[in-house]
A and B are shown apart, each in its own frame.
Chain A
Amino acid sequence: MSTTEIDRQWTTRLRHRVTAKLPPEKLLPDTQPSYVSSWIYVFGVTTLAALAVVIATGCLLAIRGPQWWHGSDIGHFVNSLHLWSVEIFFFAMVIHLWGKYFMAAWRGGRALTWMTGVVTFVVSILTAFTGYVSQTNFDSQWISTQAKDGINATGGGAYFNVLNLGQMLMWHIVLLPIGAVALTVLHVLLVRVKGVVPPFAAKSEVEA
């Protein structure tokens, strides 16, 4: 096989394109610009860490099925871990979002990074909501019977039936987590490709 033929391969082209966009030193950097020095940066990585704990505790709950935690002390504790990791996740995510807003983090060609972050936030809210209506207890009964009115009013309830436990559970443990994780991966890769947004330019820098 000739070198030209290898260069034409889809695999080779994809590798070249990926490594050009995101070389290893960008994907896993060992230095950062000196302006990346603020407490606000903690909340991005905290959100990612909380997401990992949410997924891990959700997987533990899945092992014995949706009813397990009602009749088991261990199951109830795992449910508590899942609940509090979700609370930490949203706490960190909201602060991260507002922090990025006040940094105008979309500047310098980072609009897509901002947008994937916002969509991840919305998908996360949907994921949490489907979790609340899948608890198979009083909370899930009340939340689902109230939420149906909002969703039905838009016409969406005909397809997204919040009173159907099976449908909600599938969205909660399969479809929405896949979406949330895929969006998070894309968001983080965009951050690595574009880098952390620099501070607003001082007047002297702009007019130099």
Chain B
Amino acid sequence: MRKKAFRPDVDAPKWTGGHTPYDIVKEGTIALLVVAILTIALATVFGSPDVPAVTIKRWSNMAPVDFAMTALSELNGTSGTATYGAPYNNQSVGQQLGPLQLAKWVGDRIPVDAANAFVIDPLGSLPNQAVLTTDLSQWKQASQTQRTSWLANYTKAAATMKFKSGNVNVAAYNAGPVSVLINDLTQMARSGALDQSLVTHAGFYTTDYTLPLLFIADGSYLGNLAEKQHLTGEQWGMMNETGSYPGQAWLWLYTFWYQVPPFSQSGNADVLVWGLMMALTALLLLVPFIPGLRSIPRWSRVYRLIWREHYGQDAPATPPRKPPRADPSASAAPVGVVSSDA
């Protein structure tokens, strides 16, 4: 019978040395106590961050022009959400991984019609607004060509938008009902009613904040606050959190790829980085089966630091850098060696 060669990165030698007393329960208890005490100490000294959430009410009061311009972008179809593509709409192909259009293939499974969801429907929920009701009717009955014309005229004039005396001021002509729609939505937002409308659009009980979060993220206010908190992508923000806390430091490699070419210059950065991280995770998972990768620990000799007592006392000889050649005449495994099916 041909002897199976010993593979140093796959097989492990059978331990024939000594044993020492080991109280696993005591070790676990001590570890639990130490971690609990360390946790309490860190929590007491450093606490945890809790910056209040941004509301649409706060946004529209602190930055009314940014809010009104964002509302206009939802209405004229130029906002981030309106042009997003899947899963919210089909206005864009979305990112591609080579020839693979993964997002597009899945489709708009969380449909969001930006103009209606963020502007028209919330305004329609306001009671006793005679002028607004008339303007909403005018908007709904107008042709798409007419709406486009109104929006083009308003959008052109909105370059000099101001917020004065509690109103949005845009010197727009032939803009139909758009001026009233944008101004009234801004008033609605400043009262807090838009927050409520976007959350409860699907019923009384809800835990889905997709609409208000998409709307807030389309504006500049949230991003400006995030930049001050070192949270943007260029600031390695994906692994940070508000304040000087460690955040999700374990995402450092994921965040790293966004900082370097070609990812930092690609319009497909998200899907490329995800694809790369999936591939690297698969490599990590399959290390035991990948020649070369599984040999790095033996080549690096870091293990001699880990097991320095063992090598210092029991095994002065160095491990082989290559598997020993099998002896065809032998009929049994080498003494002290076990093979494995790993």
Contacts and interface: CB of A to CB of B under 8 A. Distances in A.
Interface of A: 28-38, 40, 42, 45-46, 48-50, 52-53, 57, 69-70, 76-77, 79-85, 87-88, 90, 94, 99, 101-104, 106-111, 114-115, 118-119, 122, 125, 128-129, 132, 135-147, 149-155, 157-159, 161, 163-167, 169, 197-208
Given A35-B17, A141-B222, A205 B50 contact: no
B15 A157 contact: no
A80 B317 contact: no
B170 to A, nearest CB: 28
Nearest to A35: B310
Given A144-B213, A207-B334, A46 B31 contact: yes
Interface in B232-264: 233, 237-238, 241-242, 245-246, 248-251
A201 B297 contact: no
Contact of A107 (B109, B246, B342): B342
B297 A138 contact: no
A33 B103 CA distance: 52
Contacts of B307: 35, 38, 103, 199
Nearest to A78: B43
Interface in B2-44: 6, 8-15, 17-25, 27-28, 31-32, 34-36, 38-40, 42-44
Contacts of A40: 306
Contacts of A163: 208-210, 213-214
Interface stretch (B61-69, B129-137, B178-186, B285-293): B285-293
B22 A31 contact: yes
B279 interface: no
Given A32-B20, A125-B251, A166-B208, A52 B52 contact: no
Interface stretch (B139-147, B161-169, B269-277): B269-277
B53 A206 contact: no
Nearest to B18: A34
B336 to A, nearest CB: 5
B324 interface: yes
Q: What 3 A-B pairs come out closest when comparing CB atoms?
A: A166-B207, A108-B12, A106-B288
B58 to A, nearest CB: 11
For the side of the interface on B, what is the size category? Answer: 35 or more
B335 interface: yes
B128 interface: no
B306 A103 contact: yes
A163 B106 CA distance: 18
Contacts of A122: 281
Given A104-B9, A200-B8, A149 B18 contact: no
18 contacts: A28-B25, A29-B24, A30-B24, A35-B15, A38-B306, A48-B28, A52-B32, A53-B36, A87-B42, A104-B294, A107-B11, A132-B248, A137-B53, A164-B209, A199-B311, A199-B315, A202-B318, A206-B6
- In this complex, the member of A109, A169, A208 whose beta carbon has the largest number of chain B beta carbons within 10 angstroms is A109
A72 to B, nearest CB: 11
Contacts of B287: 101, 106, 114
Contact of B297 (A104, A109, A161, A198): A104
Given A53-B35, A136-B53, A141-B222, A111 B285 contact: no
B271 A94 contact: no
B335 A208 contact: yes
Interface in B166-212: 206-210
Contacts of B334: 205-208
Nearest to A136: B53
B231 interface: yes
Contact of B248 (A77, A80, A101, A129): A129
Interface centre among A103, A149, A169 (most CB of B within 10 A): A149
Contacts of A34: 17-20, 310
Given A137-B51, A208-B336, A33 B25 contact: no
A28 B269 CA distance: 49
A90 B249 contact: yes
B124 interface: no
Contact of B303 (A70, A104, A140): A104
B43 A201 contact: no
Contacts of B15: 33, 35, 198
B297 A32 contact: no
A115 to B, nearest CB: 6
Contacts of B22: 29-32, 36
Nearest to A37: B309
B306 A155 contact: no
A110 B31 contact: no
A105 to B, nearest CB: 9
Contacts of B6: 201, 206
B320 A31 contact: no
B274 A153 contact: yes
B53 A140 contact: yes
Nearest to A56: B36
